[in-house]
Amino acid sequence: MEQPEEAVMHLKRQVEDSSLNTADRINLLNDTLEQLLNVAAEQKDTSALTRVKSLLYQNGILSHCVTLITLNPQRPQSIWRAAVTLASLTTSCCVGVEPGELSETFHRLFLPSVADGLLSLASHLARRADCVSPFRKVMDSVSCLLRAHAQLTAQVVSSSHYELIQCCDEVTMSLLCVQMWTDICTANSDFLSSLSHDAVLLLLNEAVGQLAVSSDAAVGGASVRLILHMASQLPLQPFLFNFKGLDSLLDKDWRGRGFDPEVDQLIALTQSQESTPSGDRERAASVIQAAWKSYLTRRRVKSLGGVVSMLQRRFRARRRQQQQQRDAQRWQEELNYQVCLQRQQARTKFHQKQRELLLLLPPDQVQPYLLECEIRAAVLIQSAWRGFLARRRIDSLRPASRLAHVQQEAARTLQRAIRRFLQEHRAAKVLASAPCWIGQKGLTESKRAALKRRVDEYISLHPSSGASRQACEQLHVDVQWRLRVLLQQAVRQTREEQKMESLLARTHTQLDLLKDAPPLSAVTATDIKSFLSPCGTIATRARDAHIARLQANRLPWWRTLGETTAGLESKVEVEDSS
């Protein structure tokens, strides 16, 4: 089996070969590194894996890996996925390595270059919609590197590539970043305690920035839980003093999103730091540091695309507002349509009811009724228009004279009402009272008194008993049914009377025609047609009756004694048949 030193040297010569392109070099490194690490991990000696990682670093293999990780965005997707695999292998080689004499160079130069290469690869993947899974793998590599080397936290949070990832429009990217920090703090309890003051402040600034920028409930909940997890391991009161208005932001934007207990806990923690006693110098120093750091942060965010995030937020808010306006307009249009439809249906029912009432009226009362309706409508329109003019005239008056004008108008209105009441009262004494039912004669005073007396006698003889509600409802239904039957009978009776009147009028017309008929000697063809019936059955019967009458006139006189016309006609028919 080939020794690790020889395999590493052979790999170094192959990688430095200029005839290989980028894709072949990445595939070669992936296959060889995976094979070397697997072989070293299977050996019983635990130091073999550390030795292989140290050889890879000392011979410059890991430096080549870092160079290849930082890819050109124009390269094909197959190279992206191979680069993600190479980034994972490079991170594994950086964890547990012993650089030996090159320890200072390893920690000060090499590890920051590895972190920067991983973040560069992640920022390129974040801009592509189909690279969510590779992006998650790269962030897992960053998490593994930070768990082993916590001193890289400040560099990662303040990196320009990491800020480009935060400016990405995808919510999944922001959620993966917040979950990465939560997983790091959970996996290593000493991670936060090993960070510097600036690194903790940058990490806290990252979580608070997600709360201020993002509107997704998952990102907000993960950020709140990250801050609470940091507060459980570190005293965050001095750090939270730099974030004025955090409690109002949480209360305004993040309540009712599914994690209210965590929000309440963080608000209590934020408000408790305000009551923490501290000296004037420390507070002043904290205020100055917070102002200076906020200025630096704003300048850095402004130069790195913070305006894009603001524009995105405003665009989403504007789009959401426009959608709400469109929904409200559509609901208002639907409401107006329903109101118009209901009004149209009510108007149709009203006109149908008017037609039914007009059918009940006698023909000679239809025109006066329509004239009365027109007069009422005209009065209503005039009153509305006069009220509008009066209100406009009152509004145009000065406040000083408005009260007197209102009093005068009220006096005139009362006088008109009194005069109209007196006029109607005098007219009621002269004219008969209006009928209670359309088409029916009203009750006279004598009939009303007699009916009232009969009702009082019936009530005195049949006192009311405590009837139940069901009995009252049944009695009401029975009365309504009887009233409906009575009205239907009245309608039928009215129709029969109208039919009888029409028959009588037709009979009188025919009688008048017969009276004015000319003699037979002067009858013309036109006169004959005027006496003919348009109905064939009636004309046939009349012709048969006339023929029978002529034949009966030719019979002997003794045959017609004591016989009616019908009997004579029957005798004539019998003789004709014989």
3-state secondary structure of 348: helix
Measured distance CA(130)–CA(139) in Å, rounded: 16
Q: How many CB atoms lie within 10 A of CB 84?
A: 22
**C-alpha span between 183 and 205 (Å, rounded):** 18
Supply the DSSP string of 330-341, one letter for each residue: HHHHHHHHHHHH
Query: DSSP assignment, residue 441?
Result: P
Taken in order of first residue, the domains within the chain and their CATH numbers are 4-319 (1.25.10), 526-549+567-578 (no CATH)
User: What pLDDT score does 437 carry?
Assistant: 44
What residue ranges of the chain have pLDDT lower than 70?
A: 1-2, 71-78, 129-130, 168-170, 236-243, 245, 272-280, 283, 301-308, 397-401, 430-443, 463-467, 530-536, 560-578
**pLDDT at residue number 276:** 47
3-state secondary structure 7-62: HHHHHHHHHCCCCCCHHHHHHHHHHHHHHHHHHHHHCCCCHHHHHHHHHHHHCCHH
pLDDT value of residue 214: 75
* pTM beyond cutoff 0.95: no
Which residues are CB-contacts of 523 (< 8 A; sequence separation ≥ 6)?
none
Phi, psi of 314 (to 5 degrees): -65, -40
**228 to each of 190, 262, 273, 281, how far by Cα in Å?**
16, 8, 14, 28
At residue 272, the pLDDT reads: 67
pLDDT of residue 436: 44
Say how far apart CA 344 and CA 55 lie, in whole Å.
91
* pLDDT at position 44: 73
Helix (H, G, I), strand (E, B) or coil at 115: helix
The token pair at 134 is 């590779």
Instruction: Judge whether 230 and 193 are in contact, CB under 8 Å.
Output: no
* CA–CA gap between residue 134 and residue 450 (Å, rounded): 102
Amino acid in the structure at residue 89: L
Cβ-proximal residues to 150 (8 Å cutoff; 6+ apart), any chain: 188, 191, 194, 195
Instruction: For residues 246 and 271, give the distance between their C-alpha atoms in angstroms, rounded to a whole number.
Output: 9
Residue 433 vs residues 102, 370, 424, 509: alpha-carbon distances, Å: 122, 20, 11, 37
